[in-house]
Amino acid sequence: MILTWLALVLLVGFLCWVARPSHRGLRAHLPTRMLRAAALLALIPYLVAGKPVVSQQAICDEVQSYVNMFVDYTKTTCAPTNASSDTFTFLVLSSEPIFSIKDEKKAWLIAVVLSLGNAMNGAPDVKTGELYVADADLKTNIAYVLPIVVAKALQNDVAAGKLQLGAMYEKIEKSLVRKELPKP
């Protein structure tokens, strides 16, 4: 997205540079009005859209980056479960058997839920689905599922100072549902 905006700014800058009175290159061939109209036509889709497009993969990359920064005893990966769907649903995996160690599970789940809640609260217009979390013991085809609306609400409450991390973890535990994943 940033690269697209940068390309647009460069294009508009170039077109304005070419259209300035002292430049005789393209200006000799194209009237100034035509150059400005081309610049405006290039900007119209971005001006009409009003909001940047958020991709599921971009949110996953953000979550994965934050969790790996804060939780260094496991490598976390994130993948959209169906990138072609308009409902955002994610699978977040730990490279270690995190669910068998209580304190590590607690810290990891808090980091995942806060990161995803923050990312999704930054994109309020997207349709939310579920967050699947699993660990290295995925060979059992078991994951735990949390509605993303719960992650968003918990992150909002923690950010507003209405909820402490211990209480947040208790709410996560109560909301998680054990689910068997389909075999690949």
Cα–Cα distance for residue pair 58/163, rounded to 1 Å: 27
Give CA–CA dist 49/75, Å, rounded. 37
- What residues contact residue 46 under an 8 Å CB cut-off, 6+ apart? 5, 8
What is the predicted pLDDT for the residue at 99? Answer: 86
3-state secondary structure of 121: helix
Q: Which residues of the chain carry a pLDDT beneath 70?
A: 1-53, 138-140, 182-184
110, two tokens: 């808090």
- Per-domain boundaries in the chain: 2-49, 56-180
Cα–Cα distance measured from residue 2 to residue 88, given in angstroms and rounded to the nearest whole number: 22
Hey, CA dihedral for 126, 59, 184, 176, is it positive or negative?
Answer: negative
Q: Given this model, what pLDDT does residue 158 score?
A: 93
Helix (H, G, I), strand (E, B) or coil at 88: strand
From CA 1, how far away is CA 79, in angstroms rounded? 20
Residue 85 has a pLDDT of: 83
Backbone angles phi, psi at 29, to 5 degrees: -100, -30
The model's pLDDT over 5-53, given as tens digits with 9 standing for 90+, comes to: 444 444 545 555 555 555 555 555 555 555 455 554 554 554 445 555 6
What is the pLDDT at residue 20? 53
pTM (whole model) above 0.75? no
| CA 174 vs CA 43, 59, 164, 171: distances in Å | 48, 25, 16, 5
